[in-house]
């Protein structure tokens, strides 16, 4: 009975059965192609977005690219007579290439602006590391994992989607010129500010004992400190200039803040 029923159905359908099957096959193929195209397009958009974000914060102006979405800022307060400071300096400077970190070493006995910045924080001891304008503070020289915890704490907090793009540093004799663009990725107005630090990637000082001390990312001065207000999805071109004697081994660090804490920081090297 079952076999006869099957044959009878085939007779009733005749050639139309094949036609319906063919139409369904075509529809299935078309749907499969559409799904594949959607997956490819979405994947490309995500890949493109990730690439742009990496370039936004790393940059290629100076030949060094940091593959991180956001960078924490560390202002490390040291003095040239401090015995524990070189250890902190070395640990943090080695983390700059591998961690989402921008480092500014404030040598308070050699730079008046660095000393005033220490007073703003109420620094009592060196070395003291202030992450993201004091969001995390570490007193004394510590191991890498301790600094990593501070960096992670900074990056895990909620912060506006604001980025620094198209940065460039040009050296003209004793003048350092910095340009960049700050982009607001939020759907609401961003009110805050930015600071452009000029640093010497490696510089030497003589301490009170007559010893030569090499300091990484030593703060030289400010190229600009300004408040900003960016509308939703808006962008602002910024610039700064610093004048003073320096080595060729310099860089600019642009930190964007919300009025209280640094949101992100970007290291820019000359071309």
Q: Does position 63 have pLDDT exceeding 90, yes or no?
A: no
The pLDDT tens digits for 4-39 are 333 333 333 333 333 334 455 555 565 666 665 655
CA distance 48 to 143: 36
Helix/strand/coil (H, E, C) string of 120-136?
A: HHCCCCCCEEEECCCCE
Q: Does position 177 have pLDDT exceeding 50, yes or no?
A: yes
Q: Which of 133, 151, 155 is nearest to 142 (CA)?
A: 151
Q: Which of 25, 35, 64 is nearest to 251 (CA)?
A: 64
The pLDDT tens digits for 68-106 are 468 999 999 999 999 999 999 999 999 999 999 999 999
Contact 102, 57 (CB under 8 A): no
User: Cβ neighbours of residue 170 under 8 Å, at least 6 residues apart?
Assistant: 176, 177, 270, 271
Alpha carbon separation from 230 to 55, 163, 211 (Å, rounded): 21, 12, 48
**pLDDT attached to residue 70:** 87
Q: Does position 269 have pLDDT exceeding 90, yes or no?
A: yes
Q: Which residues pair with 238 in a beta bridge?
A: 180
The pLDDT tens digits for 49-62 are 333 333 333 333 33
Which band of pLDDT confidence, cut at 50, 70 and 90, is reported for residue 48? Answer: very low
Contact 199, 105 (CB under 8 A): yes
Which band of pLDDT confidence, cut at 50, 70 and 90, is reported for residue 150? Answer: very high
Q: Does position 179 have pLDDT exceeding 80, yes or no?
A: yes
CA distance 96 to 93: 5
**Rounded average pLDDT over 41-46:** 45
Q: Does position 225 have pLDDT exceeding 50, yes or no?
A: yes
| Mean predicted lDDT score pLDDT of the chain | 82
The pLDDT tens digits for 102-145 are 999 999 999 999 999 999 999 999 999 999 999 999 999 999 99
The pLDDT tens digits for 151-169 are 999 999 999 999 999 999 9
**Rounded average pLDDT over 167-195:** 95
């Amino acid at each position: 009975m079952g076999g006869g029923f099957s044959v009878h159905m085939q007779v009733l359908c005749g050639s139309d059965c094949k036609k319906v099957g063919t139409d369904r096959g075509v529809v299935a193929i078309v749907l499969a192609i559409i799904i594949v195209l959607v997956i490819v397009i979405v994947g490309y958009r995500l890949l493109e977005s990730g690439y742009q974000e990496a370039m936004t914060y790393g940059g290629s102006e100076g030949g060094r690219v940091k593959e991180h979405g956001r960078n924490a800022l560390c202002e490390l307060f040291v003095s040239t007579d401090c015995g524990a400071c070189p250890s902190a300096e070395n640990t943090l400077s080695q983390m700059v290439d591998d961690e989402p970190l921008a480092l500014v070493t404030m040598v308070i006995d050699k730079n008046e602006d660095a000393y005033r910045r220490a007073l703003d924080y109420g620094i009592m001891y060196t070395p003291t590391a202030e992450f993201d304008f004091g969001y995390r503070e570490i007193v004394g020289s510590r191991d890498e994992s301790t600094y990593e915890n501070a960096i992670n704490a900074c990056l895990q907090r909620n912060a506006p989607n604001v980025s620094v793009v198209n940065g460039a540093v040009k050296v003209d004799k004793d003048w350092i010129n910095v340009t960049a663009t700050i982009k607001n990725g939020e759907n609401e107005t961003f009110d805050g500010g930015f600071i452009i630090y000029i640093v010497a990637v490696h510089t030497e000082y003589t301490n009170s004992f007559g010893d030569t001390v090499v300091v990484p990312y030593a703060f030289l001065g400010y190229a600009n400190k300004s408040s900003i207000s960016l509308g939703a999805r808006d962008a602002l071109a910024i610039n700064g200039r610093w004048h003073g004697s320096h080595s060729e081994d310099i860089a600019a660090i642009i930190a964007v803040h919300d009025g209280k804490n640094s949101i992100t920081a970007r290291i820019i090297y000359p071309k």
